[in-house]
């Protein structure tokens, strides 16, 4: 009898599904380094450990140098030369040795030394030298990585089914893991509606986030099971557990096949009340998947992802090509293009440096605020959207509107861009509808005023919940407080829908709540017109809609609105009969 036991870690279910593979560590930009005391007798050994990590780093840098030399030539390869010079810097080495002599472990000694140097760089006026701090940080990270013994490879070198493990994956990192061999991922930090989780859903990659310790407990090449349905990870599972999960995976595949039968049926209740099911996308590559799941339009195209993983700003042409591709594929159904929502947890490395230095990025220069601050970037995007509107049914949507003035200002820029295009004889849809996201409590409170100025609104519950309940959507420590069924949220949603209908406009919801089957009857009963959800959720939401009557849904939603506590709301929802 085997005594081996599974190690089960509990986290937050970020993207559904089951995945099995070997651990693959992705370097994280700000991984944690802990300080340990090294007894006097072990300090020389600690220095040797440091030296071999430095040598390993040197070998890696030389490989990079040779590769750049081969592809781009010697002048470019000098960039890697700078890294080698930093690695051999005698002062840096002396400082690290001194810390080890004082009983500090090598990882922390490198971390402290690099941090001190980087701090002193903050006061240097010269831009070139100030930016060299990035190189120093980079080298420090490489040495620490080698000290930690994490095997570092690029995703391109994957040879078998793998599970990506990282302390943190940024949304930009997540965009790069659309590798066939990446079966899932697990991170220490993160929340259910973080953009990293949302992208994983878009890519249909099972994921668990907020595990707190996965990056320190897993080892390279450990077998790992990701259970994205329950929010669990099994480390080094027994063969019995692996076979249990394989069976569950097969069962889920069968269920998915069953749901596919709904593809060509409309999203209507048993008493014939119709709503529309749209899809959220981050990338034109998702079109095939959303069409095969029966989407009747794109309700949210998160265009900020065009700005990721590149060194320069996207051009008007880049915008045009992306949007027209989606609009043509979706035609005759609509495509809602949201202007870029950078900031918050979505930072692009394209020169918007002020954003990167903010202390409270979710409350800072994000979304429409950034667009209005950098009109030249906004204008490039608007020109791309308008030009693409000649090729399909495009609607434009502004993110994070918090007051009516922002709407006026954004429309003013839009009108100027339209005038320019007319002057240049460039075709666009003169009747293109313009809408606003309602995702900030102030916008929800003045929805009557906003509804009179736009053609449609879309409720962004991911942020509406974050800002109303004061719960950071990417912070695993407060994930338990992040609650779509909080009475305040439900009352806001009802208000938004009622006031918008009074003004004669339709209401969509594109936050994750729209894709939660548990919330569907209540939203339906409130009178929501469109549900915009990630591709895989479309058939699941359709199944709930088709199994309930509108009358019943309305009754339920009236009851929950009278509740002042979450518990009483849950009691009502749990007794739903889908008749
Ligand atoms: C939202 O906030 O609900 C939303 C859809 O926008 P994002 O998730 O991109 O912030
Ligand atoms: Mg949002």
Other Cβ atoms less than 10 A from the Cβ of 72: the count is 11
Architecture of domain 40-148: Orthogonal Bundle (1.10)
C-alpha to C-alpha distance for 337 and 399, rounded to whole angstroms: 10
Tell me the domain boundaries of the chain.
7-26+153-258, 40-148, 265-273+438-579, 297-432
Place 388 in a pLDDT band, splitting at 50, 70 and 90.
very high
Cα(228) to centroid(ligand 2), Å? 23
| 136-155 per-position pLDDT tens digit | 877 888 898 888 776 555 66
pLDDT, position 98: 95
62-71, 440-449, 539-548: least confidently modelled range:
62-71
User: For residue 411, is pLDDT > 80?
Assistant: yes
Mean pLDDT over residues 103-117, rounded?
Answer: 90
C-alpha to C-alpha distance for 475 and 189, rounded to whole angstroms: 7
Mean pLDDT over residues 33-40, rounded?
Answer: 84
Evaluated on CA atoms 290, 294, 295, 296, the torsion sign reads positive
Mean pLDDT over residues 153-166, rounded?
Answer: 78
User: For residue 426, is pLDDT > 90?
Assistant: yes
The verdict on the CB of residue 282 being under 6 Å from ligand 1 is no
pLDDT, position 353: 46
The verdict on the CB of residue 461 being under 6 Å from ligand 1 is yes
pLDDT, position 69: 73
98-107, 310-319, 436-445: least confidently modelled range:
310-319
- Return the bridge partners of 435, or none: 397, 456
Atom of ligand 1 nearest to the CA of 344: 10
User: For residue 128, is pLDDT > 80?
Assistant: no
- Whose Cα sits closest to atom 7 in ligand 1? 462
Atom of ligand 1 nearest to the CA of 511: 3
C-alpha to C-alpha distance for 11 and 16, rounded to whole angstroms: 13
* Backbone torsions φ then ψ of 396, nearest 5 degrees: -105, 140
User: For residue 351, is pLDDT > 60?
Assistant: no
C-alpha to C-alpha distance for 80 and 299, rounded to whole angstroms: 45
Cα(470) to centroid(ligand 2), Å? 14
Cα(237) to centroid(ligand 2), Å? 37
Mean pLDDT over residues 385-407, rounded?
Answer: 98
Using alpha carbons only, what angle is made at residue 478 by residues 198 and 468, rounded to the nearest 5 degrees?
75
User: For residue 29, is pLDDT > 50?
Assistant: yes
Adjacency order of strands within the sheet including 12-15? 7-10, 232-235, 223-227, 18-25, 162-166, 182-187, 207-209, 12-15
Testing ligand 1's pocket by substitution, the residue of 435, 439, 443, 484 carrying the most ligand atoms inside 8 A of its CB is: 439
pLDDT, position 225: 97
Whole-angstrom CA distances from 43 to 53, 98, 107, 153 are 15, 11, 13, 30
Token representation of residue 532 = 């915009």
Are 165 and 186 in contact by the 8 Å Cβ rule? The answer is yes
The verdict on the CB of residue 510 being under 6 Å from ligand 1 is yes
CA 436 to chain centre: 21
Testing ligand 1's pocket by substitution, the residue of 193, 199, 369, 468 carrying the most ligand atoms inside 8 A of its CB is: 193
Whether CATH 3.40.50.720 fits 265-273+438-579 = no
User: For residue 578, is pLDDT > 50?
Assistant: no
Place 21 in a pLDDT band, splitting at 50, 70 and 90.
very high
Could you list the active site residues? 195, 510
Place 76 in a pLDDT band, splitting at 50, 70 and 90.
low
pLDDT, position 186: 95
* % of the chain at pLDDT higher than 70: 90
pLDDT, position 157: 66
Q: Which fold has domain 7-26+153-258?
A: Glucose Oxidase; domain 1 (3.50.30)
User: For residue 30, is pLDDT > 70?
Assistant: no
Whether CATH 3.40.50.170 fits 297-432 = no
The verdict on the CB of residue 46 being under 6 Å from ligand 1 is no
Mean pLDDT over residues 21-46, rounded?
Answer: 81
C-alpha to C-alpha distance for 238 and 356, rounded to whole angstroms: 44
Cα(549) to centroid(ligand 1), Å? 29
C-alpha to C-alpha distance for 158 and 221, rounded to whole angstroms: 11
The verdict on the CB of residue 194 being under 6 Å from ligand 1 is no
Whole-angstrom CA distances from 481 to 348, 380, 516, 573 are 29, 39, 17, 19
Cα(192) to centroid(ligand 2), Å? 13
Whole-angstrom CA distances from 64 to 67, 106, 148, 349, 388 are 5, 25, 21, 22, 41
Which residues, at least 6 apart from 110, have a Cβ–Cβ distance to it below 8 Å? 50, 96, 140, 143, 144, 147
CA 324 to chain centre: 23
Other Cβ atoms less than 10 A from the Cβ of 63: the count is 11
Testing ligand 1's pocket by substitution, the residue of 190, 283, 302 carrying the most ligand atoms inside 8 A of its CB is: 302
Token representation of residue 262 = 């709904």
| 231-265 per-position pLDDT tens digit | 999 999 999 999 999 999 999 889 888 898 999 89
- Decide if 7-26+153-258 and 40-148 have a common fold: no
| 497-546 per-position pLDDT tens digit | 999 999 999 999 999 999 999 999 999 999 999 999 999 999 999 999 99
Whole-angstrom CA distances from 486 to 165, 330, 469, 568 are 33, 35, 9, 10
* Average pLDDT value for the chain: 89
pLDDT, position 137: 79
- Return the bridge partners of 301, or none: 281, 337
């Amino acid at each position: 009898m085997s005594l081996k036991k599974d190690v089960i870690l509990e986290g937050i279910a970020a993207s559904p599904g089951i995945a099995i593979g070997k651990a693959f560590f992705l370097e994280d930009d700000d991984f944690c380094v802990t300080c340990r005391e090294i007894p006097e007798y072990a300090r020389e050994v600690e220095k040797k450990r440091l030296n071999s990590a430095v040598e390993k780093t040197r070998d890696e840098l030389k490989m990079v140098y040779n590769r750049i030399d081969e592809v781009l030539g010697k002048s470019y390869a000098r960039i890697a030369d700078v890294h080698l010079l930093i690695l051999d810097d005698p002062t840096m080495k002396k400082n690290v040795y001194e810390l080890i002599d004082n009983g500090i472990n090598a990882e922390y000694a490198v971390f402290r030394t690099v941090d001190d140097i980087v701090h002193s760089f903050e006061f240097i006026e010269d831009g070139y030298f100030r930016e060299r701090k990035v190189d120093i940080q980079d080298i420090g990270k490489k040495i620490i990585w080698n000290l930690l013994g994490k095997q570092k490879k690029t995703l391109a070198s994957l040879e078998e089914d793998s599970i990506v493990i990282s302390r943190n994956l940024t949304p930009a990192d997540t965009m790069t893991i659309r590798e066939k061999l990446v079966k899932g991922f697990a991170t220490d930090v993160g929340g259910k509606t973080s953009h990293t989780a949302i992208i994983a859903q878009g890519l249909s990659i099972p994921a668990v986030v907020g595990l707190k310790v996965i990056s320190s407990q897993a080892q390279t090449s450990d077998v790992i099971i990701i259970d994205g349905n329950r929010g669990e990870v099994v480390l080094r599972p027994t063969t019995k557990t692996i076979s249990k999960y394989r069976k569950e995976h097969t069962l889920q595949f069968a269920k998915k096949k069953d749901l596919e039968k709904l593809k060509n049926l409309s999203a209507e209740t048993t008493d014939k009340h119709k709503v529309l099911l749209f899809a959220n996308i981050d990338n034109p590559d998702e079109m095939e998947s959303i069409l095969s799941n029966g989407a009747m339009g794109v309700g949210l195209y998160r265009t900020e992802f065009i700005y990721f993983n590149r060194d320069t700003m996207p051009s008007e042409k880049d915008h045009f090509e992306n949007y027209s591709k989606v609009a043509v594929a979706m035609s005759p159904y609509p495509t809602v293009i949201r202007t870029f929502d950078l900031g918050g947890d979505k930072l692009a490395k394209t020169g918007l440096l002020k954003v990167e230095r903010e202390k409270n990025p979710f409350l800072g220069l994000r979304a429409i605020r950034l667009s209005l601050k950098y009109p030249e970037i906004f204008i490039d995007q608007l020109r791309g959207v308008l030009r693409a509107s000649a090729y399909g049914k495009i609607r434009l949507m502004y993110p994070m509107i918090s007051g009516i003035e922002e709407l006026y200002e954004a429309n003013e820029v839009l009108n100027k861009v339209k005038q320019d295009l007319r002057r240049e004889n460039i075709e666009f849809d003169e009747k293109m509808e313009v809408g606003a996201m309602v995702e900030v409590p102030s916008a929800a409170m003045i929805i009557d005023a906003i509804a009179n100025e736009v053609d449609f609104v879309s409720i962004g519950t991911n942020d509406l919940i974050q800002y109303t309940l004061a719960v950071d959507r990417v912070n695993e420590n407060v994930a338990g407080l992040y609650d779509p069924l909080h009475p305040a949220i439900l009352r806001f949603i009802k208000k938004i829908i009622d006031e918008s209908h009074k003004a004669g406009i339709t209401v969509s919801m594109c936050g994750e709540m729209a894709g939660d089957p548990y919330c569907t009857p209540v939203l339906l009963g409130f009178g929501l017109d469109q549900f915009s959800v990630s591709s895989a959720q479309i058939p699941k939401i359709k199944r709930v809609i088709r199994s309930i009557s509108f009358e019943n849904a309305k009754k339920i939603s009236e009851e929950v609105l009278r509740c002042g506590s979450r518990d009483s709301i849950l009691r009502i929802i749990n007794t739903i009969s889908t008749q």
